């Protein structure tokens, strides 16, 4: 129901402005914080872009390991691990942790060295 | 205010110098609870640079006093480790407050510069060895002489970290896994040495000749010394140069060569790996602490907001090391 630009397009307009026009005008310390701000906006954009589908995929993964659809939450997975209900050697658990973490990085920082390594 | 500071400095340093005139007093950095200043003393044609570090009451009950930091630096200096020479210490009830003055050491601390500038090409080749040796010298300080520091066993550190993580009620399965894993590890017979606690680029001064000084002793404590070796291997402290496991500039074999050139302590790669895993988790929890400080309005900044999204970096490093044989 909302007009163009979309929220993603609005965010992109702001970070391009910061990147192309503002950053170079500022003293080092402020330019550093502007770069951080740009990175934050890019995270938000990626989350808007893929957040919903990643959350849904994660839910399926959690249902697969925790069983119940209602119980299939990150909170409960954390609880089961801390209460020792899933053994640390459980192969499925390890795969689940790897998969979910990769999904998080795809939004938080797809350029991270270890993430890129694990994609190969 | 600056005038008053100048006077207080001159008064403190009267014992060290015949004529004391403080000039070029410059504020460098600081936070809510402490400050760092740079200044110059001229006596005759001689000009020397110094650093003042002072605190305004501790930010945490566990923070050590600046005077205690100074004492640690003095002891480390005696062991021959590269550390700025302490010139004077002020008591918390003195006009300067809890503070110390040390000689200024010229050099670079910014990680990306040290890792990328051509200027440091040769230095980088030897830096892991130098760091290993420096760390070993720190560990040699006789702990009986160290006052005011807490003894923290591996179990204490893990429990403390776990409590901090739980306080945010932000469940992270990878962290839960790692805490459980760490609690199962055998840390051997508990060793107690002086530990720097935050040895990495950013806290060392480097020039074209090599490692010049180790600074920032706020997190120093008594505990298992291998944690200093594990910490500098944490991927986040490689600042993008991931192939160089030690600090983004070197390899573990050189770190250990440097260490064993000073210390007879036998340290295995596996032990370093375990403490690297601990260190990665520790950095992840620190990211949580910083971002929640921002979220509760205690210390707002874009930096602290952004750092919350770096927790996942530590998670992927942990799954890589724990499950995929990563380094």
d(C-alpha B64, C-alpha B57), whole Å: 10
- pLDDT tens-digit map of B279-307: 999 999 999 999 999 999 877 899 999 99
CATH number of residue B76's parent domain = 3.30.200.20
d(C-alpha A52, C-alpha A40), whole Å: 18
**Does residue B59 surpass a pLDDT of 70?**
no
Query: How large a percentage of chain B has pLDDT more than 70?
Result: 98
In A, minimum Cα distance to B162 occurs at A82
- Domain range holding B37? 2-103
How close does chain B come to A4, measured CA to CA in Å?
A: 28
Residues of B with a Cβ under 8 Å from any A Cβ are 171-177, 179-181, 184, 235, 240, 242, 301-303, 305-306, 309-310, 312-313, 315-317, 319-320, 322-324, 326
Are B183 and B241 members of one domain? yes
Structure tokens at B70: 């100074």
The reply to whether residue A108 touches residue B317, judged by beta carbons under 8 angstroms, is no
- pLDDT tens-digit map of B164-190: 999 999 999 999 999 999 999 998 777
**Does residue B53 surpass a pLDDT of 70?**
yes
Question: Mutual orientation of helices B269-295 and B173-184 as an angle, nearest 10°?
Answer: 140
- Is residue B226 within 8 A of residue B137, CB to CB? The reply is no
Are B217 and B283 members of one domain? yes
**Does residue B16 surpass a pLDDT of 90?**
no
Instruction: Indicate the DSSP class of residue A120.
Output: -
CA-based nearest residue to B35, from B104, B103, B101: B101
For residues B84-93, one letter each, b for 16 or more C-beta atoms within 10 angstroms of the residue's C-beta and e for the rest, the string is bebbbbbebe
Assign B61 a pLDDT band (cuts: 50, 70, 90).
Answer: low
Are B49 and B151 members of one domain? no
| Cβ contacts of A119 on chain B, cutoff 8 Å | none
**Does residue B58 surpass a pLDDT of 60?**
no
Task: Give the number of A-B residue pairs with CB atoms closer than 8 Å.
Answer: 89
Are B220 and B267 members of one domain? yes
> What does the mean pLDDT of chain A come to?
96
Residue showing tokens 């089961």: A80
CATH number of residue B152's parent domain = 3.90.1200.10
| Cβ contacts of B177 on chain A, cutoff 8 Å | 81, 88, 93, 97
Are B220 and B299 members of one domain? yes
Q: Average pLDDT for residues B258-270, to the nearest whole number? A: 94
| Cβ contacts of B174 on chain A, cutoff 8 Å | 97, 101
**Does residue B105 surpass a pLDDT of 60?**
yes
Are B135 and B169 members of one domain? yes
Instruction: Indicate the DSSP class of residue B35.
Output: E
CB-based contacts of A56, cutoff 8 Å, min separation 6: none
Are B10 and B56 members of one domain? yes
**Does residue B323 surpass a pLDDT of 70?**
yes
pLDDT for residue A97: 98
How would you list the strands of the sheet with B86-90, edge to edge? B22-30, B34-43, B46-55, B98-103, B86-90
Are B16 and B127 members of one domain? no
Q: Which one of B103, B121, B137 terminates a domain?
A: B103
**Does residue B196 surpass a pLDDT of 90?**
yes
Assign B92 a pLDDT band (cuts: 50, 70, 90).
Answer: confident
pLDDT for residue B47: 87
pLDDT for residue B324: 97
The reply to whether residue B303 touches residue A117, judged by beta carbons under 8 angstroms, is no
Q: Which of B158, B162, B173, B294 to mutate to test the interface with A (most CBs of A within 10 A)?
A: B173
Name the more confident of B43 and B195. B195
> What does the mean pLDDT of chain B come to?
92
Q: Which one of B103, B125, B148 terminates a domain?
A: B103
Are B185 and B75 members of one domain? no
**Does residue B32 surpass a pLDDT of 90?**
no
| Cβ contacts of A108 on chain B, cutoff 8 Å | 309-310, 312-313
pLDDT for residue B57: 63
Residue showing tokens 């100074």: B70
- pLDDT tens-digit map of A39-63: 999 999 999 999 999 999 999 999 9
Are B125 and B99 members of one domain? no
pLDDT for residue B275: 97
Q: Which one of B81, B103, B125 terminates a domain?
A: B103
CA-based nearest residue to A115, from B275, B244, B318, B172: B318
Are B85 and B125 members of one domain? no
Query: How large a percentage of chain A has pLDDT more than 70?
Result: 100
Structure tokens at B239: 């600042």
Assign B252 a pLDDT band (cuts: 50, 70, 90).
Answer: very high
The count of domains in chain B is 2
Are B137 and B176 members of one domain? yes
Query: Which segment of A56-65, B15-24, B72-81, B202-211 scores lowest on mean pLDDT?
Result: B15-24
Residues of A with a Cβ under 8 Å from any B Cβ are 33, 36-37, 39-40, 43, 74-75, 77-79, 81-82, 84, 88, 93-94, 97-98, 100-102, 104-105, 108-109, 112-115, 117-118
d(C-alpha B281, C-alpha B225), whole Å: 17
| Cβ contacts of A117 on chain B, cutoff 8 Å | 242, 320, 326
pLDDT for residue B62: 60
């Amino acid at each position: 129901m909302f007009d163009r630009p979309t929220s993603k397009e609005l965010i992109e307009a702001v970070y391009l402005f910061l990147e192309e026009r503002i950053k170079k005008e500022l003293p080092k310390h402020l330019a550093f914080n502007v770069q951080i701000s740009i990175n934050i906006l890019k995270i938000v954009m990626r989350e808007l872009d893929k957040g919903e589908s990643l959350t849904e995929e994660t839910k399926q993964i959690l249902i697969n390991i925790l069983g119940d659809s209602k119980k299939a939450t990150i909170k409960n997975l954390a609880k089961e691990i801390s209460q020792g209900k899933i053994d640390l050697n459980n192969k499925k658990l390890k795969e689940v942790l790897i998969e979910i973490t990769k999904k998080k990085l795809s939004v938080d920082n797809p350029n991270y060295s270890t993430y890129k390594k694990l994609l190969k | 205010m600056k005038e008053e500071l100048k006077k207080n400095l001159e008064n403190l340093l009267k014992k060290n110098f015949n004529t004391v005139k403080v000039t070029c007093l410059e504020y460098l950095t600081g936070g809510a609870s402490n400050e760092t200043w740079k200044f110059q003393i001229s006596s005759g044609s001689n000009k020397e640079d110094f650093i003042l570090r002072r605190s305004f009451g501790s930010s945490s009950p566990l923070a050590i006093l600046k005077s205690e930091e100074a004492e640690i630096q003095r002891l480390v200096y005696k062991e021959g480790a590269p550390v700025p020479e302490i010139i004077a210490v002020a008591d918390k009830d003195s006009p300067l407050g809890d503070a110390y003055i040390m000689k200024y050491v010229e050099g670079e601390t910014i990680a990306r510069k040290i890792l990328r500038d051509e200027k440091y090409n040769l230095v980088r080749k030897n830096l892991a060895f130098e760091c290993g040796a420096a760390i070993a010298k720190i560990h040699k300080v006789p702990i009986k002489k160290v006052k005011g520091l807490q003894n923290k066993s591996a179990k204490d550190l893990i429990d403390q970290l776990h409590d901090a993580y739980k306080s945010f009620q932000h469940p992270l399965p990878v962290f839960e896994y790692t805490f459980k894993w760490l609690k199962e590890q055998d840390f051997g017979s508990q060793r107690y040495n002086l530990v720097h606690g935050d040895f990495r680029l950013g806290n060392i001064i480097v020039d074209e000749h090599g490692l010049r000084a180790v600074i920032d002793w706020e997190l120093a404590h008594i505990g298992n010394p291998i944690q200093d070796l594990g910490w500098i291997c944490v991927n986040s402290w490689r600042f993008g140069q991931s192939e160089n496991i030690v600090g983004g500039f070197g390899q573990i074999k050189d770190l250990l060569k440097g260490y064993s050139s000073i210390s007879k302590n036998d340290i295995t790669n596996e032990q370093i790996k375990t403490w690297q895993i601990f260190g990665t988790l520790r950095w992840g929890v620190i990211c949580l602490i910083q971002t929640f400080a921002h979220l509760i309005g205690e210390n707002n900044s874009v930096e602290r907001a952004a750092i919350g999204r770096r927790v996942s970096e530590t998670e992927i490093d942990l799954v890589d090391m724990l499950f995929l044989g990563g380094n």
